[in-house]
Amino acid sequence: MNRVHATKDFWLAALRADGPALWEAVSETGPEPAVAGCPDWSVADLTEHVTAVLRWVRSTVARGVTDHPDVSPVPEARPEWPEALDVLRREITGTIETLEAVDPDLPAWNWAPQPKRAAFWHRRMAHEISVHRWDAETAAGRATPIETKLAADGVSEVLDTWLPAGKRQGPTDLHGVVHLVGTDAAQEWFVRLRGSGVALLDTGTILDSDDHHARAKATGTAGDLVLALMGRKRLDQLAVTGDPRLLQALHTG
């Protein structure tokens, strides 16, 4: 796998772009429209969810400890729509300011089998907001693609963070190798499925004698790949060969 060497500044730049764009989209649509990528959600539900997540991260990431926080992301009572928009705007601004001030190496709890450092949340919030920005713009009828390098890192995040953390929503009884190709990012990923287990293979160290031949392959832009993995796009919107069930096994979100 060819990794994007992303940094705190890279993820914050994405947040500064996608946060206001998300707010503009939900402000444009109003609370009632459905959010296609989030079944049974309206724009009001999406707004409430994003606000709660931002509030939770802002209140916990700077604690400097790795124990599980007591603070719950459960939202407060839903305010009237104009106030909900104002609260979302303030939480976007406040969370960006908090993450700007936090050293990536500061100890911080996370839910993945990874080092418990604040950098996890710089990355996680960049992708959380980019996908939900796409959701909001889709509801507004004017979705724009996720930026290529960010999307490529989003694919990697699904494979190196979500899946090892057990956050798979697809079948967990399949075995084989999946090959993902991000055409615009000039990146590819190999993932070996072992039933409930999953291993992300380093394409730079795979030997020809290794059994790494793909049993399923999906090709598309990095943005389309991450949106498919996160359940926003159908697999048939990608160029797929091999057993499509193996691709379904990577579904998360």
C-alpha distances in Å from residue 135, one per residue of 38, 58, 74, 120: 8, 22, 21, 23
Per-residue HEC secondary structure of 159-205 comes to HHHHCCCCCCCCCCCCEEEEEEEECCCCEEEEEEEECCEEEEECCCC
Residues 219 and 233 in one domain: yes
- 10-residue mean pLDDT series, the chain (253 residues): 74 98 98 94 97 95 94 73 97 98 98 96 98 98 97 96 91 92 95 87 58 82 97 92 94 86
Report the pLDDT value the prediction gives residue 207, as an integer from 0 to 100: 47
Residue 1: inside a domain, yes or no? no
DSSP string of 13-53? HHHHHHHHHHHHHHHHH-S-SB-TTSTT-BHHHHHHHHHHH
Structural domain count of the chain: 2
User: What CATH number has the domain bearing residue 156?
Assistant: 3.30.1050.10
Residue at 188: amino acid letter? E
User: What CATH number has the domain bearing residue 27?
Assistant: 1.20.120
- pTM of the prediction? 0.93
What is the spatial distance between Cα 92 and Cα 54, in angstroms, rounded to a whole number?
Answer: 7
Residues 16 and 117 in one domain: yes
Report the pLDDT value the prediction gives residue 210, as an integer from 0 to 100: 57
Residues 118 and 177 in one domain: no
What is the spatial distance between Cα 101 and Cα 103, in angstroms, rounded to a whole number?
Answer: 7
Residues 89 and 58 in one domain: yes
Give residues with Cβ within 8 angstroms of 101, minimum separation 6: 62
Residues 172 and 241 in one domain: yes
Are 22 and 146 in contact by the 8 Å Cβ rule? The answer is: no
Residues in the chain: 253
List the domain range (segments joined by +) for residue 30: 8-144
CA geometry: angle 234, 235, 240, nearest 5 deg: 155
Residues 186 and 140 in one domain: no
Residues 109 and 158 in one domain: no
Report the pLDDT value the prediction gives residue 2, as an integer from 0 to 100: 46
Residue 3: inside a domain, yes or no? no
Residues 131 and 165 in one domain: no
Residues 115 and 195 in one domain: no
Residues 183 and 104 in one domain: no
Single out the residue in 95, 119, 144 at which a domain terminates: 144
Report the pLDDT value the prediction gives residue 201, as an integer from 0 to 100: 77
Closest by Cα among 33, 48, 130, 60 to 88: 48
Rg over CA atoms, the chain: 18
Residues 120 and 182 in one domain: no
Report the pLDDT value the prediction gives residue 204, as an integer from 0 to 100: 57
